[in-house]
Amino acid sequence: MVRSTQLIQEFLFKKEPLVWLTAFFSFCLLVTGWPFGNTASAQPNEVIFLAGPKDHGMAGRHDYPADLKVLAESLRKSNNIGDVTTKVLVGKAPRDLNVYKNAAAIVINSSSDRSGREVHPLFPPNPNTSGTGYDEETEAFLEGLNEILKNNKAGVVVIHYALWIENWAARGYYMDWLGGFWVQMGSRNPVDIWEMEPQNVEHPILNGVSPWKYRDEIFSRFFLPDQISGRTELLTAMPTYSDEQSRLPENYGTQVAAWSYTREDGGRGFAFGGMDFHDNMEIDDYRKFVLNGIVWSAGMKVPPEGVHSPTPEIEIGR
């Protein structure tokens, strides 16, 4: 443990490559025996949105219910993806597994599990747990949900602050569903004006998506171990160092902001580090990118031009 602490300190203060943090967590994965890929195939196109409550932040920021309601409405109004059924559930996720039995994908946008003052829909606040697992009822719910995801080959989409996870059992689920997550100390979440650049443009999630530039808080420097196969980088973010809240080191550089993940059984995952300011939903390429990710994760065909949706009118300013 002394050596592990030393490696993290080198990463943080000497700006060592992320390989140090990756090596540390990879060791922990081997010790704890996390599974690396069994989840997800039901063909009904039902997308379940799990929104944490707006539990902090100024108006128009971290408004998880508002963000997911716009995405759900955009899917329903799209004229080029066929029929989609959506549910938007706010707060702690219902423990009745029948709610999820027809899910083609679940989409999570919320706060982290790190604090008792904030809510993650699936995972209880880490300070109220052992840090390595949960009470019997929670364990049974998570195992049951995971089994549904496996049987349905249902996709899992996790956005922004919800990618920060502390409990080791929750991290195990994220590794299985997404192939990575955000970690304290090694990862960052700066606000800046970002230039968003598509990567691996042949991926369906990037259909019809052009680069864009906008202000956001981008969760980045994720724990993405190299030995996990099935992951594809989709979007990089380059800070412009032009926002007054930036506080970025000069060498922060280009960061992975989004990726897709195909599990061993064919189920799919999608992670995106952006989505702080609600009025960014008016940016068509931004919104299309996220909608493409949801549709792809649900096992549906992403149209060649991307998912079309009318531009919403968002009245809240930054």
Over residues 167-187, the pLDDT tens digits come to 999 999 999 999 999 998 888
**Counting Cβ atoms within 10 Å, is residue 138 exposed (0-12), middle (13-18) or buried (19+)?**
middle
pLDDT score recorded for residue 246: 64
Which tokens belong to 102? 């027809």
Q: At 195, phi and psi to the nearest 5? A: -100, 115
Pairing state of beta strands 231-239 and 191-198?
Answer: antiparallel
* 110-122: burial string, b at 16+ Cβ within 10 Å, e else: bbbbbeeebbbbb
Amino acid at 176: D
Give 147's contacts (C-beta < 8 A, 6+ positions apart). none
CA distances from 233 to 148, 173, 206, 317 (A): 27, 20, 11, 31
Q: What is the pLDDT, as a whole number, of residue 209?
A: 98
Q: How far is CA 52 from CA 59, 67, 78, 124, 183, in A?
A: 15, 11, 25, 12, 19
Alpha-carbon distance of 306 to 83, in angstroms, equals 16
CB 132 within 8 A of CB 167: yes
Q: Which DSSP helix (H) or strand (E) runs through 156?
A: strand 155-159
Is the separation of the CB atoms in 176 and 39 below 8 Å? yes
Q: Look up the pTM and report it.
A: 0.86
Blockwise average pLDDT, block size 10, the chain, 318 residues:
39 45 51 41 76 90 95 96 94 98 97 95 97 98 97 97 97 97 88 95 98 95 92 95 72 91 94 96 97 98 97 74
